[in-house]
Amino acid sequence: MAGTGGPPPLRGRPRVEMRQFGPYRIEELIGRGGMGEVYRAFDTEHQRTVALKVLTESLAADRGYRERFRREAHAAARLSEPHVVPIHRYGEFDGRLFLDMRLVRGRDLATVLAEEGPLAPARAVSVVGQVAHALDAAHAEGLVHRDVKPSNVLVCSSSGEPAEDDDEFVYLVDFGIARSVGDDGGTTALTQVGSAVGSFDYMAPERFLERPADARTDVYSLACVLFEALTGRRPFLARDLAPLMWAHLNDTPPPASRLRPGLAAALDDVVARGLAKDPADRWHSAGAMATAARRALAPAGVAPRPGAVPPAPTPVPPSPVPLPGGPRTDPGPPPPVPLAGLPTGGATRAPHGPPPPPGGTGAPGRPRRSVLPAVLLAAAALVAAAVLVVALVAGSGGPAAADPPARPTAGPQHDALLAIVPADFDPSDCRPAPSAGDGDVAAVDCGRAASATGPRTARFFLYPDGEQADAVFTEDVTGLGLPTLENGASCPASQGYQNWTVDDVVMGQVACYVDQTNTAVLIWTETDDATEAVVTIRNGGTAGLAQLVEWWNEAELSGFGA
């Protein structure tokens, strides 16, 4: 009867009438999703109990998908990374595509969160770090998972029972339906049957716009998972497709530390960079994000959990053929990059100073506020509008979908900020930007400076008073780990932050650095005007940083209210 030759039935799952699928004797339904069902089955040819995923008939009927499935399942079967559930074989029986995988007992992360609530920070970072190992291995082989979400993260232990304490090992499952990097075949319409691989709650912005997916697409989804593991809720709570699309394309979720007091604020920055709207602004790899998350725990005295050893040795995959490139490694933070011209103990310049990125790097040390380029947002609006029209025409009888959340709008504080933006920016070109969530009363993106040698992106913030603006700045730069510049150090000769002065009077603070994407970043506050500014030159490096400092020293160009 059912269960012969294998472990006892998993509790809490409905049993199904036993039937045959090729050489597999079906024992129990253990999962169901939009792509098909997963069964516990007994392989009569190899005398072993396996997890058998049988995809929907419509997918096998699509010749392009069927060929891609075979190619990518073969690539996934070559992965020998311990955190990837091994694929024994794959193919087609009776017009249904299938994957035969090792049966691993445990709970998926969605169940863990539903039963236990948010994870301890060290545990959450450990889980995400193990998933990152699986993703980096897949990306090195040219595979994009495209369906990273809690229900595809399996948490188990070396004993085969629910994990306790540090005896926890994590698998990322469903690699067999991943898509190859750069393979756009059959991915041109989210509305096509079977093409919407992945849950909308964790889907990267570019996928809603049907743009190519790459490793950074998985990084975004993993950042969503980290956010949920830390807070117990998804980044965006909209339930209908149109407002959910809008949120992924335009909105910034609240900082995790606001939803869970006591959480290390540095984790907010890690998550925010992972959730950047523009792929170019995200962590370059899942491993880089996981490493940053571990480092973020260190100042709080929290040690990440190591994770258990694999429950069973992973069999050697059949003669893998390495693809060009090899695994990526996290280069770690860039070495200190000199800036030039700001004297020790207080940079000087004629009154006033710099900006952030409307489509690029966000303000360091806080959730990044990057947005997709204007053409991307325009396309998103069209897609969202089309979905709403379809929903209305379909007339399901239920209530109409809610309107998309309003974008940032102008107000009195916005007008006050526009009245004092640095003279090198045209206020009519500035647009309202999302709140930083740290007490700012207005924020604007002003894009590129008029001067050819000025910043390429600029974002300005207005606070209730100068004291709060300076406090936010301090939190930003210390969260980045920037040192105070002293003992003769100056910006841009050294990266870091310091006060800046006019006639020996402290006017605010200024910081400068080059980030891991080689973007030159300059941040400063002006206490009297209660403002903070972030300006960047993407891919500017050391030369770009020196250029920003030179521009900032021209008060008539960069000064608030100048």
CA–CA separation, 295 and 289 (whole Å) = 10
Q: Taking a C-beta distance cutoff of 8 angstroms, is the pair 304, 125 a contact?
A: yes
Q: How far is CA 267 from CA 101, 125, 150, 363, 514, in A?
A: 35, 10, 19, 15, 20
Those residues with Cβ within 8 angstroms of residue 280's Cβ, 6 or more apart along the chain or in another chain: 216, 360, 517, 538
Cα 133 to the center of its chain, rounded Å = 15
CA–CA separation, 83 and 153 (whole Å) = 10
Active site residue 94: no
Helix (H, G, I), strand (E, B) or coil at 362: coil
CA–CA separation, 37 and 55 (whole Å) = 7
CA–CA separation, 80 and 327 (whole Å) = 13
- The residue from 147, 201, 218, 515 that is catalytic is 147
Nearest to 475 by CA among 492, 463, 487, 486: 463
444: β partners: 432, 460
Helix (H, G, I), strand (E, B) or coil at 350: coil
Residue 510's H or E segment, with its range, is: strand 505-514
Exposed e or buried b for every residue in 323-356, given b needs 16+ CB within 10 A? Answer: eeeeeeebeeeeeebbbebbeeebbebebbbbbb
CA–CA separation, 68 and 95 (whole Å) = 16
Q: Taking a C-beta distance cutoff of 8 angstroms, is the pair 29, 39 a contact?
A: yes
CA–CA separation, 509 and 349 (whole Å) = 12
Handedness of CA 469, 474, 477, 478 (dihedral sign): negative
| DSSP structural state of residue 392 | H
Q: How far is CA 464 from CA 289, 495, 532, in A?
A: 33, 29, 12
CA–CA separation, 349 and 373 (whole Å) = 33
CA–CA separation, 65 and 193 (whole Å) = 11
CA–CA separation, 247 and 69 (whole Å) = 31
Catalytic residues: 147
